[in-house]
A and B are shown apart, each in its own frame.
Chain A
Amino acid sequence: MLSPIEVTLIKALGVGNYSIEEAVRKSGMNRDAILKASYLLQEKGYAEVSTKVIRKYYLTSEGKEYLEKGLPEERLVKLLKEGVKDIGELQKKMGKKEFGIALGWLKKRGVVRIENGKLILLKDPKFEEKEILKAINEGREVEENKLKNLIKRKLVDYDEKKEIYIKINKIPEVELTEYIADLTPEVIKSGSWKDKEFLKYDVRIPSKEIFTAKIHPYERIIRECRKIFLDMGFTEIKGNYIQPAFWNFDALFQPQDHPAREMQDTFYLDKYVDLRDEVEKGFLDKVKETHENGWITGSTGWGGKWDVNKARQLVLRTHTTAITIHYLANNPEPPVKAFCIDRVYRRETIDATHLPEFDQLEGVVLDRNVGFRHLLGLLKEFFAKMGFEDVRFRPGYFPYTEPSVEPEVYVDGLGWVELGGAGVFRKEVTEPLGIKGRVLAWGLGIGRLAMLRLGMKDLRRLYLPDIGWLRAVPVIKR
């Protein structure tokens, strides 16, 4: 019993001897399939598989040169015919090396004799090597034994290639079903497949690896967070990476001598802005008053003098809160729900868990009748949507919120993991900006989330991607 590929091959070829290329052409099957079929047919006595080494000859650069200007022996004979006989002169004309080659060749064939330092031509030789060089150069077939000498003289060289031949000895007498190898447009058009069977492939054999073009796994987490916020009715906001210290620090009631404001921790720019808009809206004066003496917020303030110049300096924002507070100042009437997921900067030395820039997620709710308990409700809901069912709350501290809270989520294998911070914006923050109502705010670094989700140990990988890693991380959420 022959297998489909054997039948296909033997019917396509018929009795005869074929190179593998011919077999491919005739059968339309691929090389591997032909080989497999041939070996199977050989076992059953229908075919013989043989390997022949084929030599492909070509001229060396020296060979090419001689073909062009003549072989040395040819040139020597020509010189002799022209009457030059003195060995010294001949050597000079031809060069010592070529003269030597030519003399050797001519002497061996008894064409010349040396007499008193002179060469005597005895007969007219035939230069059949020249013809062979010509033939090789033109790609014609040449008898192999004639090439030995030229190969020795390094005028001709060759590449070896193994060629497989399939000889079909006989066709089995039983009825052969015809199989289709490749489903071609012709096959479909003619309908010839209808009375044939399809060649069966070994589907277990893996093919060459290709790679999916995909979204960065970290961006996929960001996309998921955005979707959660949008589903919860939040408006997405966006701001410039470069912000005046006013929005990054002062508007958030960070005292001007706060350690976080030092050059040590923040990337400053050697550039100041006039804060015209902030002056016009009256923000600047009220923030100043609040810092110095609490203004009408009920606070004591920080005391001391508030320096407008410090507020005018530009920084690479250290948190997205610089954007949310600005948005709230522009949209002070409740209800407002807004979120921001974006890049922030800290002047930190890079290691596996600290980066000078990373992405932060932040959400705020501004409303009249909301309080701390509702903030906890938001956090619980948000984390549940992120897949963290167990959330617990501990007291926290942030300069611009009161009360403040540090949420923790339960992660299998790790236990309780702190994930971000939250709180109610202080009155010292909301009142100078005319924000009416209470602001519930929370934020977290997405890097932390990515580490949990992707099982990562080194955050640097996110921002200088290893393509092997990107190819390896599956698209589906784990």
Chain B
Amino acid sequence: MPVVTLYWDELERLVGVDRETILSNLPMIGCDVERVEEDHLDVEFFPNRPDLYSVEGVARALRGFLGIETGYKNYKVKSGDWKIIVEESVKDVRPRICGCVVKGLKMSDELIRSLMEVQEDLHWTIGRNRRKMAIGVHDLRVLEFPLRYTTVDGNFSFVPLDFEEEMSIEEILKKHPKGKEYSFIVKDFEKFPIILDSNGEVVSFPPIINANRTRLTEKTTDVFIDVTGFDKNVDRALNIIATMLADRGGVVESVEVIYSNSVEVTPDLSPSKMSVDKEEIVSLLGFEISDGEIISALEKMRYGVNVRDTYFEVLVPPYRADIMHPWDIVEDIAIGYGYDRIKPDYPKTATVGKAHEWNELREIVKEIMIGLGYTEVITFTLTSERVQYEKMRRNKPKPWYYTPVMHPLTEEHTIIRTDLLPKLLEVISVNTHHPLPQKIFEVGDCVVNMKNRLKVASCSTHSKANFAEIRSFVQAFMKELDLNWEVKESEDEAFIEGRRADIIVNGKKIGVFGEIHPEVLENFEIPNPVVGMEVDLTEVFDVGELL
């Protein structure tokens, strides 16, 4: 989630209240205050509210929430004589573009900083790291309209932002810091999207980099903004930037985007309308709330409201990218009303509880194990072929008997465990400095053939651990589970030959026990003898439904 840095002087000035009031109210509109410093605070806003990624957006929301300036804020768009001609060739690479002109800005460091920050956050969130949407802000003075949105070859060259010499598109993708960072988006392209002005000079190579000549300076008062991408997120982003600059005193002018068979005028800063049923509000919130309270809550959240007989017609501001469903508005009613004012009420829903067989069996097994003097451990289910098979002198099974994960982060976590015993040996190996005897067990999930299985394993280590001990143990354990079982000589190489046994129930092998082979002990760097057992409980017990 994006963390937005808000400077106190701007925030206090734009909201018009002191820090204390801001700090105590900010969390109640939906965010986590991460850090409070003398000159600024870092706030994490939720990914559904990109309109709050700038100090202007936060000030607008806070002024509403605090009742300083409530209701729908109307943003005017002056009809401008600016045109972008979109050529057919962009259809296959990055089909949509929209834009606007904002005039009369005072380009301070503060504003440039805020603009850059909001661009970055929008790129990351609704832009999905510039893939779906990218924004460019340019000094209007150097551009000759109409602009042309078209495609060029990789050897086409211009001077990219922060450089002084011409570079070809291909060089930019290899050498320019932004080119390298975002080349993954255009790596399969044969032709690259480009915005040119009427002199044929480059404006931008979206979504990678602007031309150096269009950069903002302290003298800039008028800007042109382009947003490129694929879908309505392009318009959402433009609306967020345009309203933010309008809040800074800028005058927004429209741009005509001319496609081969249609013309769009952007930005559209008129509200969208959504009907919210009165009964549904009360029912979803679960408490009685009057029309007046609903209206007041909506206005605090900067909506416009028209009251109808059974519903409210809600005017949704153009910068709100998250309103997909009436319930999204109901949540805002709850926020505007104040979460702290809602009286919690335990639901009357009457049902009878029931534990899951799987966990009931786990509890039983634990009782037996504790009774036999074994202490419970829990371990990661993520492990590696090396620990599960190689160190155990066992043959590696075929994939999908075990589960390899894609793109593991470490060599230790490449698969999900199929067996518990190796995990217990790992535990013993990191605990050799503690007094012996050590007797441990784990009863938990393994994944075999992509399904969970409930297994139990135990280990005992001390200088005299031997087969007689583990056999007595298994005898007692199996007796408590009330299972008819027999023993067969095992071929499990993890144990010493002649001191290893398979546990057979109904003719089926369900487990194994014995003295751990000294080579296995060496592999795990365990200096003392270890005896151990493992049983697959899923083989013999009803463990209930698994979804």
Contacts and interface: CB of A to CB of B under 8 A. Distances in A.
Interface stretch (B430-438, B468-476, B508-516): B430-438
B324 A300 contact: yes
B87 interface: no
Given A268-B405, A464-B427, A336 B351 contact: yes
A440 B379 CA distance: 32
A294 B408 CA distance: 36
| B interface: dominant SS | loop
B312 to A, nearest CB: 14
Nearest to B128: A257
Interface in B338-380: 339-340, 342-347, 349-356, 358-359, 363, 366, 369-370, 372-380
Contact of B381 (A259, A343, A438): A343
B343 A373 contact: yes
A130 interface: no
Nearest to A313: B406
A235 B351 contact: yes
A314 B327 contact: no
Interface in B113-138: 125, 128, 131-132
A270 interface: yes
12 contacts: A216-B375, A241-B381, A241-B447, A294-B325, A298-B325, A343-B381, A370-B347, A381-B346, A392-B340, A403-B327, A465-B379, A467-B440
A376 B342 CA distance: 8
A381 B345 CA distance: 9
B440 A238 contact: no
- A247, A268, A465: residue with the most chain B Cβ atoms closer than 10 Å: A465
Contact of B344 (A234, A240, A303, A376): A376
Interface stretch (A22-30, A80-88, A109-117, A422-430): A422-430
- A267, A271, A294, A468: residue with the most chain B Cβ atoms closer than 10 Å: A267
Interface residues of A, number: 102
B376 A232 contact: no
B426 interface: yes
B439 interface: yes
Contact of A377 (B46, B346, B356): B346
Q: 3 nearest interchain CB pairs?
A: A371-B286, A373-B286, A397-B46
Interface in A205-258: 209, 211-216, 218-219, 223, 226, 229-242, 247, 257
A429 to B, nearest CB: 11
A380 B344 contact: yes
B547 A467 contact: no
Contact of B347 (A271, A378, A397): A378
A194 interface: no
Q: How large is the interface on B (under 10, 10 to 19, 20 to 34, 35 or more residues)?
A: 35 or more
A373 B546 contact: no
B325 A402 contact: yes
Nearest to B1: A397
A401 to B, nearest CB: 9
A136 to B, nearest CB: 32
A405 interface: yes
Contact of B327 (A239, A370, A426, A471): A426
A133 interface: no
A420 interface: no
A226 to B, nearest CB: 7
Contacts of A349: 409
Contacts of B451: 240, 242
B217 interface: no
B66 to A, nearest CB: 16
Contact of B29 (A357, A395, A463): A395
